[in-house]
């Protein structure tokens, strides 16, 4: 997942292209460009607004950040940008690309910089003091964004350029940038009457508060629910998990016990290995009930209000539902098309789940467990079936997957495909002592900076994401990107390697794929850089990157145990044979979330009861009862902590269809490390950002639209009756 720079607001007009998407990182260049028009020197009151200086084209001064400074810094930055916007809007000269679009690209740089700090604290250091600032400032930032997009004079200049025949004299990249501004201003309500504009602004401010509240409630439930174990409750747990749980307990002030925290990286292995069924149920319920405890941190009322406000806003903007508005500028153009894609996969996925449950029930019956398989049993008995069917022990696989070695693996892959080299650097400030900074170079030339923040801690969002600090841009003087990857691994005991699961390793490759998308960017304007693309295309490069983990070149070189011994060939063969194992569970839990997301946003202004809507939907879909949504409604931060992935969680499926179709192109033309294919992928996909319609970009790379067949083959599902394609070109 690409992280929003707070999805509740846009930090400047220069990222308005992302009004319907998460505000995400943009990326790098290997060439320089003449510097932009000189800006008058400004004496900033707050250090967070100042230009980044020093090596590597400058870097963020995290060491100067104080939570108490956020409010005055944001207010000062908004005042500065307000003056810039007024100057552009009131320019008496005829609108031109230079005096309007390029001027907007230059505007708001101080707010971009302080916005980076603000978003990093939201995701990684969300203390009560920060949350108090966030609760006050997020609505103000939303109002400021509305002030810009509802500026009639500014919109008239953009519209004049979009309508003008002279625009055709611009480069294709510039023409698309004009369209991006026009489209996003229009979709944000720039053409509405004054009364409707006021109401849209009120909705956006209220939503900003609700998004912050939803995320804060979720963080509270992640930190506040910990299961502490005694020595007699550790049955079945591997030694590495015991050591990590002991360390987690000590960190929480419970030395001498073992802690299972309310994060996926702690919950998942516990449910896989614990012999204690009652404790499995406790841990499962804690995790899947986040935001749904009917207490001060309950998210039910918050999400209901978010849905109603989104529907009202969509209607004001001329759309039947929020889902119709959301997909208006995506690769898939309508909710019907997205639903058709999901429902094409759903029957195969749920049928596989039923077979998986049958296999697991047979194991439980043979063991005399006298149970019916429930959701908290799924991982535990799936692991038993895996061992029986494939003689594959995930615990054994894990001994060959060390966090540091997998980090080295993605570095090596980036070198093979793109020529990148990652070197740790010192002297660059970080926002937490556990963060490491790397310089990225290519052929000895600076490309960008990459920050790694690997460990779980209180105040940090759960899961894994990529976050952008600075976009690539030739227009901004050859500006190079700064990006981070953030994960939530539990620290090992001192002196011990951190062992991760196969799924965790895939996640690292996935999030690093977002970073590679940004680092490979080679565009002129920051609004179009790197991952600043449609939500249902942005996950394509990251999901494609997952495929390199299982290549022999990676496994033979980096999958080693603590003694340095490589993973045995026989074990690799077992992994490959079991590659489609448990895909029913994996696909169904994801697809349930994606279908729910689309359906709940198609429900219009209905007064939705979250639990009842969920139950009724999955009764209608004949959802197997042993599986639940990957993200149940009250913990579904993707869609309720911001607008970014709302009515867009299907994007992971759309992107995975592209991913498997594209990887087969590599296999058809020389293999995963074929230099010609890597260059073609670089030139057609990851370097072009949002300068090209994504469907056009994909068709150029593949020679045709994507087909669903490769995705189904990868999952071991039956082929469709007729070949299906996805993604149509057009603005």
The tens digit of pLDDT for each residue in 578-634 reads: 999 999 999 999 999 999 999 999 998 888 888 899 999 999 999 999 999 999 999
Judge whether 383 and 362 are in contact, CB under 8 Å. Answer: no
Please state, in angstroms and rounded to a whole number, the distance separating the CA atoms of residues 706 and 27: 26
Residue where the block lists tokens 């930032």: 141
Which residues are within 8 A (CB) of 437 and not within 5 positions of it... i.e. 6 or more apart?
A: 59, 424, 425, 428, 430, 449, 450, 451, 452
**Can you say how many angstroms the Cα of residue 357 is from the centroid of all Cα atoms in its chain?**
31
Provide the Cα torsion 168, 169, 170, 171; round to 10°.
Answer: 90
pLDDT at 2: 72
Please name the helix (run of DSSP H) or strand (run of DSSP E) that holds residue 297, with its range, or none: none
pLDDT at 171: 95
Count how many domains the chain has: 1
> Would 227 be classed as within a structural domain?
yes
> Would 236 be classed as within a structural domain?
yes
Handedness of CA 671, 507, 526, 426 (dihedral sign): negative
Please state, in angstroms and rounded to a whole number, the distance separating the CA atoms of residues 492 and 246: 9
> Would 245 be classed as within a structural domain?
yes
pLDDT at 727: 53
> Would 292 be classed as within a structural domain?
yes
Residues annotated as catalytic (active site), given as ranges: 511
Tell me whether strands 445-455 and 482-489 are parallel, antiparallel or unpaired: parallel
> Would 36 be classed as within a structural domain?
no
The list of the chain residues with pLDDT below 50 reads 4-38, 722-724, 728-731
Structure tokens at 384: 């038993």
Nearest residue to 103 via CA among 11, 23, 5, 181: 181
pLDDT at 168: 74
Residue where the block lists tokens 């019916």: 372
> Would 256 be classed as within a structural domain?
yes
Please state, in angstroms and rounded to a whole number, the distance separating the CA atoms of residues 401 and 247: 20
Domain membership of residue 249 as a residue range:
220-296
Please state, in angstroms and rounded to a whole number, the distance separating the CA atoms of residues 243 and 238: 9
Residue where the block lists tokens 């980096």: 558
Which residues are within 8 A (CB) of 427 and not within 5 positions of it... i.e. 6 or more apart?
A: 55
Judge whether 566 and 559 are in contact, CB under 8 Å. Answer: yes
Judge whether 544 and 678 are in contact, CB under 8 Å. Answer: no
Structure tokens at 333: 């153009």
Q: Which residues pair with 706 in a beta bridge?
A: 726
Q: What is the DSSP letter of 467?
A: E
> Would 270 be classed as within a structural domain?
yes
Tell me whether strands 725-726 and 706-707 are parallel, antiparallel or unpaired: antiparallel
Provide the Cα torsion 462, 207, 178, 88; round to 10°.
Answer: -120
Please state, in angstroms and rounded to a whole number, the distance separating the CA atoms of residues 62 and 428: 9
Please state, in angstroms and rounded to a whole number, the distance separating the CA atoms of residues 322 and 312: 8
> Would 691 be classed as within a structural domain?
no
Q: Which residues pair with 484 in a beta bridge?
A: 451, 467
Please state, in angstroms and rounded to a whole number, the distance separating the CA atoms of residues 140 and 74: 9
């Amino acid at each position: 997942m690409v992280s929003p720079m707070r999805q509740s607001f846009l930090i400047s007009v220069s990222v308005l292209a992302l009004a319907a998407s998460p505000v995400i990182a943009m990326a790098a260049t290997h060439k320089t460009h003449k510097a932009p028009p000189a800006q008058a020197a400004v004496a900033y009151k707050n250090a967070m607004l100042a230009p980044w200086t020093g090596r590597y084209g400058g870097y963020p001064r995290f060491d100067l950040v104080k939570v108490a400074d956020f409010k005055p810094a944001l207010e000062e930055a908004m005042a500065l940008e307000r003056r810039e916007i007024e100057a552009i809007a009131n320019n008496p000269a005829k609108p031109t690309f230079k005096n309007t679009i390029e001027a907007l690209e230059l505007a708001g740089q101080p707010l971009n910089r302080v916005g980076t700090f603000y978003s990093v604290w939201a995701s990684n250091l969300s203390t009560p003091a920060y949350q108090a600032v966030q609760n006050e400032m997020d609505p103000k930032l939303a109002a400021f964004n509305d002030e810009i997009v509802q500026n009639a004079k500014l919109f008239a200049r953009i519209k004049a350029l979009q309508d003008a025949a002279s625009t055709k004299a611009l480069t294709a990249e510039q023409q698309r940038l004009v369209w991006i501004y026009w489209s996003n201003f229009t979709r944000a309500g720039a053409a509405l009457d004054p009364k409707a504009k006021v109401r849209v602004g009120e909705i956006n401010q209220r939503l900003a508060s609700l998004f912050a509240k939803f995320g804060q409630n979720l963080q509270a439930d992640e930190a506040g629910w910990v299961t502490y174990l005694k020595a007699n409750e550790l049955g079945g747990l591997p030694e590495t998990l015991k050591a990590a749980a002991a360390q987690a307990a000590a960190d929480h002030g419970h030395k001498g016990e073992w802690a299972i925290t309310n994060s996926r990286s702690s919950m998942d292995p516990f449910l896989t290995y614990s012999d204690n069924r009652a404790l499995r149920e406790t841990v499962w319920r804690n995790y899947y009930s986040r935001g749904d405890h009917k207490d001060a941190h309950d998210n039910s009322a918050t999400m209901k209000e978010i849905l109603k406000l989104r529907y009202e806003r969509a209607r004001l903007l001329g759309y039947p539902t929020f889902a119709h508005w959301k997909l208006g500028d995506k690769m898939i153009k309508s909710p019907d098309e997205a639903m058709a894609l999901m429902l094409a996969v759903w029957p195969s996925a749920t049928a596989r789940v039923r077979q998986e449950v049958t296999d697991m029930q047979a194991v439980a019956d043979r063991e005399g467990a006298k149970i019916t398989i429930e959701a908290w049993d799924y991982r535990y008995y799936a692991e038993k079936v895996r061992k029986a069917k494939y003689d594959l022990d995930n615990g054994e696989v894990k001994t060959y997957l060390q966090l540091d070695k997998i980090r080295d693996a993605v570095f090596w892959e980036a070198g093979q495909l793109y020529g990148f080299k990652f070197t740790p650097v010192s002297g660059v400030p970080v926002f937490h002592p556990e963060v490491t900074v790397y310089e990225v170079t290519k052929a000895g030339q600076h490309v960008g900076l990459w920050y790694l923040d690997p460990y779980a801690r209180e105040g940090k969002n759960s899961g894994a994401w990529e976050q952008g600090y600075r976009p690539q841009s030739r227009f901004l003087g050859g500006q190079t990107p700064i990006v981070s990857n953030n994960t939530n691994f539990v620290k090992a005991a001192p002196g011990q390697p951190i062992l991760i699961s196969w799924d965790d390793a895939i996640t690292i490759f996935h999030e690093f794929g977002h970073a590679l998308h940004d680092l490979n960017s080679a565009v002129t304007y920051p609004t179009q850089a790197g991952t600043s693309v449609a939500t249902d295309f942005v996950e394509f490069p990251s999901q494609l990157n997952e495929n390199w983990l299982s290549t022999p070149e990676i496994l033979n070189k980096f999958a080693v145990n603590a003694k340095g011994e490589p993973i045995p060939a026989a074990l690799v063969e077992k992994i490959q044979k079991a590659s489609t194992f448990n895909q029913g569970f994996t696909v169904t839990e994801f697809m349930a979330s994606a279908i729910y997301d689309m359906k709940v946003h198609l429900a219009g202004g209905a007064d939705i009861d979250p639990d009842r809507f969920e139950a009724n939907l999955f009764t209608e879909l004949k959802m197997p009862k042993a599986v639940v949504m990957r993200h149940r409604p009250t913990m579904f931060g993707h869609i309720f902590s911001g607008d970014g992935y709302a009515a867009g969680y299907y994007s992971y499926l759309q992107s995975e269809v592209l991913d498997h179709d594209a990887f087969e192109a590599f296999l058809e033309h020389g293999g995963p490390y074929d230099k010609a294919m890597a260059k073609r992928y670089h030139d057609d996909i990851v370097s072009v950002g949002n300068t090209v319609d994504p469907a056009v970009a994909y068709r150029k790379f593949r020679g045709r639209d994507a087909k669903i067949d490769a995705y189904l083959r990868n999952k071991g599902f039956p082929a469709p009756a007729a070949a299906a394609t996805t993604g149509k070109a057009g603005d």
